[in-house]
Chains A and B, each alone.
Chain A
Amino acid sequence: MKILVCISHVPDTTAKINFTAGGAALDPNGVQFVINPYDEFGLTKALHLKEKHGGQVTVITFGDATVEATLRKALAIGADDAVRLDGVPTDPMQVAGELAAYAKDQGFDLIICGQESIDYNGGIVPGALAALMNLPFVNACIGLEVDGSNAQLLREIDGGKEQISAALPIVIGGKKGLVEESELRIPNMRGIMTARTKPLAVTPLSGSAALTAASGFTKPAAKAAVQLIDSSNLDELVRRLHEEAKVI
Chain B
Amino acid sequence: MVLIFAETWNGAFKKSTFEAVQYGAACADAQGSTAVAVVFGPCTPPVESLGAYGASKVIHLHGSDRFEPSAFAQALADLAKELQASQIIVSGTANGKSLAGVLAATSGAAAVSNVTALPRSYSPLTVERSAFSSKGIEQCTSTASCTVLVLIPNALGLKPSSDARAAFEDRNISLAPKSHVGEAHVASGKIPLPEAERVVSAGRGMKAPENWNLVEELAAVLNAGTACSKPVSDIGWRPHSEHVGQTGIQINPQLYIAIGISGAIQHLAGVSGSKTIVVINNDPEAPFFKAADYGIVGDAFDVLPRLTAALKAHLS
Q: From residue 130 to 166 of chain A, which have CB atoms closer than 8 A to chain B? A: 130-132, 135-140, 142, 153, 155-166
Check B184 against A157 for contact (C-beta < 8 Å): yes
By a CB distance below 8 angstroms, the chain A residues around B109 are: 211
Check A231 against B296 for contact (C-beta < 8 Å): yes
Check A248 against B255 for contact (C-beta < 8 Å): yes
Chain A contact residues: helix, strand, loop or mixed: mixed
Most chain B beta-carbon neighbours within 10 Å: one of A19, A118, A142: A118
By a CB distance below 8 angstroms, the chain A residues around B302 are: 231
Whether a CB of chain B sits under 8 angstroms from the CB of A224 is: yes
Residue in B144, B178, B194 whose beta carbon sits within 8 Å of that of A166 in the complex: B178
Check B248 against A17 for contact (C-beta < 8 Å): no
Residue in B95, B136, B187, B290 whose beta carbon sits within 8 Å of that of A17 in the complex: B136
- Stretch among A57-65, A73-81, A194-202, A214-222 lining the B interface: A214-222
By a CB distance below 8 angstroms, the chain B residues around A165 are: 179-180, 182
- Stretch among A1-9, A88-96, A101-109 lining the B interface: A88-96
Chain B contact residues: helix, strand, loop or mixed: mixed
Whether a CB of chain B sits under 8 angstroms from the CB of A46 is: no
In the complex with contacts A127-B69, A162-B185, A220-B137 CB distance below 8 A: yes
By a CB distance below 8 angstroms, the chain B residues around A226 are: 279, 289-290, 292-295
Check B179 against A164 for contact (C-beta < 8 Å): yes
Check B135 against A220 for contact (C-beta < 8 Å): yes
By a CB distance below 8 angstroms, the chain B residues around A216 are: 138-139
- Stretch among B47-55, B125-133, B167-175 lining the A interface: B125-133
By a CB distance below 8 angstroms, the chain A residues around B183 are: 162-163
Check A128 against B102 for contact (C-beta < 8 Å): yes
Whether a CB of chain A sits under 8 angstroms from the CB of B30 is: no
Q: How far is the CB of A214 from chain B (nearest CB, A)?
A: 5
Give per-residue flags for B268-310: 1 if the beta carbon is below 8 A from chain A beta carbons, else 0. Answer: 0100000110110000000001111111111100110011001
Whether a CB of chain B sits under 8 angstroms from the CB of A190 is: no
Q: From residue 137 to 161 of chain B, which have CB atoms closer than 8 A to chain A? A: 137-144, 147, 150
In the complex with contacts A158-B9, A159-B190, A231-B303, A11-B179 CB distance below 8 A: no
**In the complex, which residue of chain B has the Cβ closest to the Cβ of A120?**
B131
List A residues at the B interface (Cβ < 8 Å).
11, 13-14, 17, 19, 26, 37-38, 41, 91-93, 96, 115, 118-132, 135-140, 142, 153, 155-166, 170, 173, 175-177, 180-182, 211-220, 223-224, 226-231, 234-235, 237-238, 240-242, 245, 247-248
